[in-house]
């Protein structure tokens, strides 16, 4: 890894929601804290007919809206905007690219600057963009290309997307971003596991009963309805976010984290390869598809998915899966995954549930006990909880009660917790690929998900209904309760 002195950060789709809501605020915070290379330019690219001043006005408004008030610094905003340039390009028209090429060359150290091409556009445009950059000599290292999900809609299309990008960029230049991996709590999962000796001897099938991974949203599909109806919860969330979290929970200790090595990505790939393949019978028994109907969220009535969409659909807005990692460490330990929209709470968390003690010397006790649990909260409030059983104060025997040791990152550390994109964008500039998905990871995830998707399609079963504002379809509770377990609502 090398921290460059000069960088051109080029955002295709520069007028889009992601660029204005996430990328520009992330670059602002990096610049505010002095983390950007001194000679950095931000070049927004889109079809819209704007000039530098017009785009800077849009960027200024976006920063005012999406940067928290306590971090608003007008001088810092203007300093970032001085770095910002805008170029109008229709990426499907080769004749419109020359102004961008001229802008990239228009600097004293053009040959030394690291060029980051962030493709915040539809996957169908990855090919035309990479082709034009490649044939015009802008894809050579140290250039980097960043691509957002979805990387395909199945294994074949994922391979096609990867082949398209790889025609012009080497794998060492391709950064497939999953913003969940940039969250502080997710990175702290690695620290929790591998920098604390008391946990590692327990992190296996001898001590852990099962693992739950939940990503729940109260929002509906909103302005993503068209995209979402082509993807559904399985493609939108499980294939990437949830499986990435599963990998970090289940992976073996890497030799080194960071440092430009591939150890973390190697170990994540092994987990994906160890996932038990799903047969049609497994899919019927161990998966649940759901779709929200009308209901109440935060005290307000909301429409069902079909009403929001405006036509009939077989798309799922909720998925629950019982998965198994077939290796020495995890044999017999189920991993329960669930994700959905229009649920009763917004939360992303990992719950590691430990086995009960082999013998209970307090069997004559009063009170209630629960299995020990480690809860890692990814959002909305990042932190960890350890759930223990303790004796209630007082004489006259042992009355036991579950209690929690709560670590809030906001309270424990007297500093701002950076947004996921801040960390990931700086890693791209540095060339650190640890928190990005490798091609074989993406394709291994699709290889596991595809049999589930194909069976759902062939069975043509309507997703099970659940009211908006509920905890999901009843079948998702049956899925886990038939094993004598229950979803943990921390």
Backbone angles phi, psi at 222, to 5 degrees: 55, -135
Other CB atoms within a 10 A radius of the CB of residue 49 amount to: 7
**What is the three-class DSSP state of 24?**
helix
User: How far from the centroid of its chain's Cα atoms is residue 6's Cα?
Assistant: 29
Pair 382, 397: CB distance under 8 Å:
no
User: How far from the centroid of its chain's Cα atoms is residue 238's Cα?
Assistant: 10
First to last CA, the chain: 40
**Catalytic site residue 241?**
yes
Confidence at residue 364, expressed as pLDDT on a 0 to 100 scale:
65
Distance CA 470, CA 450 (A): 28
Domain ranges of the chain: 6-148, 181-481
Distance CA 139, CA 126 (A): 13
Q: Which of 11, 5, 46 is nearest to 26 (CA)?
A: 11
Is 3.30.360.10 the CATH number for 181-481? yes
Backbone angles phi, psi at 224, to 5 degrees: -100, 15
For 88-124, give the DSSP string. E--TT-GGG-HHHHHHHH-STTTTTSEEEEEE-S-GG
User: How far from the centroid of its chain's Cα atoms is residue 484's Cα?
Assistant: 30
Distances in Å between the Cα of 442 and the Cα atoms of 244, 448, 460 are 10, 10, 26
pTM for the model: 0.93
Distance CA 137, CA 91 (A): 16
Q: Model confidence over 395-450: pLDDT tens digits? A: 767 888 889 999 887 777 777 778 889 999 999 999 999 999 999 999 999 999 99
Distance CA 181, CA 249 (A): 12
Confidence at residue 1, expressed as pLDDT on a 0 to 100 scale:
58
At 421, which helix (H) or strand (E)?
helix 420-430
6-148: CATH topology is Rossmann fold (3.40.50)
Confidence at residue 391, expressed as pLDDT on a 0 to 100 scale:
85
**What is the three-class DSSP state of 299?**
coil
In tens digits, what is the pLDDT along the chain, a chain of 490 residues? 567 889 999 999 999 999 999 999 999 999 999 999 999 999 999 999 999 999 999 999 999 999 999 999 999 999 999 999 999 999 999 999 999 999 999 988 888 889 999 999 988 899 999 999 999 999 998 999 999 888 999 999 999 999 999 999 999 999 999 998 888 888 888 988 899 888 889 999 999 999 999 999 999 987 777 788 989 999 999 999 999 999 999 999 999 887 678 999 999 999 999 999 999 999 999 999 999 999 999 899 999 999 998 889 999 999 999 999 999 999 999 999 999 999 999 999 999 999 988 888 876 667 777 899 999 998 888 889 999 988 888 876 788 888 999 988 777 777 777 888 999 999 999 999 999 999 999 999 999 999 999 999 999 889 999 999 999 999 999 999 999 999 988 6
Distance CA 14, CA 86 (A): 8
Q: Model confidence over 151-207: pLDDT tens digits? A: 999 999 999 999 999 999 999 999 999 998 888 888 888 988 899 888 889 999 999
**Selected catalytic residue, list 179, 210, 241, 387:** 241
């Amino acid at each position: 890894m090398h921290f460059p002195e000069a960088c051109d950060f080029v955002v295709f789709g520069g007028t889009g929601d992601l660029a204005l809501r996430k990328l520009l605020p992330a670059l602002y915070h990096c610049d505010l804290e002095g983390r950007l290379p001194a000679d950095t330019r931000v070049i927004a690219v889109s079809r819209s007919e704007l000039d530098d001043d017009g785009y800077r006005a849009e960027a200024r408004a976006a920063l005012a809206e999406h940067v928290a008030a306590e971090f608003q610094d007008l001088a810092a905003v203007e300093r970032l905007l001085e770095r910002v340039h805008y170029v109008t390009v229709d990426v499907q028209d080769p004749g419109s690219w020359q102004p961008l090429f001229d802008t990239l060359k228009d600097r004293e150290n053009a040959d030394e600057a690291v060029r980051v091409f962030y493709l915040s556009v539809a996957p169908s445009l990855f090919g035309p963009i990479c082709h034009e950059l490649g044939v015009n000599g802008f894809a050579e290292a140290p250039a980097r290309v960043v691509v957002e999900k979805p990387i395909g809609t199945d294994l074949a299309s994922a391979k096609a997307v990867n082949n398209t990008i790889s025609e012009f960029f080497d794998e060492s230049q391709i950064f497939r971003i999953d913003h969940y991996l940039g969250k502080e709590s997710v990175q702290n999962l690695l620290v929790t596991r591998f920098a604390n000796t008391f946990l590692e001897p327990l992190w296996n099938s001898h001590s852990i009963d099962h693992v739950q991974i939940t990503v729940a949203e109260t929002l509906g599909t909103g302005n993503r309805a068209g995209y979402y109806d082509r993807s559904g919860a399985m493609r939108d969330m499980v294939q990437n976010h949830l499986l990435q979290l599963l990998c970090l929970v289940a992976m073996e200790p890497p030799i080194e984290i960071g440092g430009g090595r591939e150890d973390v990505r190697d170990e994540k790939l092994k987990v994906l390869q160890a996932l038990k393949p799903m047969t049609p019978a497994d899919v019927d028994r161990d998966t649940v598809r759901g779709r929200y109907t009308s209901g109440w969220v935060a005290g307000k009535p909301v429409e069902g998915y079909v009403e929001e969409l405006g036509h009939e659909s077989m798309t799922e807005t909720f998925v629950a899966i019982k998965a198994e990692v077939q290796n020495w460490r995890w044999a017999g330990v189920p991993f329960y995954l669930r994700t959905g929209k229009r649920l009763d709470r917004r939360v992303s968390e990992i719950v590691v549930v430990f086995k009960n003690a082999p013998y209970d010397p307090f069997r004559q006790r009063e009170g209630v006990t629960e299995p020990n649990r480690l809860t890692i909260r990814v959002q909305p409030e990042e932190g960890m909880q350890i759930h223990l059983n303790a004796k209630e104060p007082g004489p006259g025997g042992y009355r036991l009660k579950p209690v929690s040791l709560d670590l809030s990152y906001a309270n424990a550390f007297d500093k701002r917790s950076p947004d996921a994109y801040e960390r990931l964008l700086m890693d791209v500039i540095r060339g650190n690929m640890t928190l990005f998905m490798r091609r074989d990871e993406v394709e291994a995830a699709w290889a596991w998900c595809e049999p589930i998707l194909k069976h759902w399609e062939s069975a043509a079963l309507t997703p099970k209904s659940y009211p908006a504002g509920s905890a999901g379809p009843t079948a998702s509770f049956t899925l886990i309760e038939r094993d004598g377990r229950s979803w943990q609502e921390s």
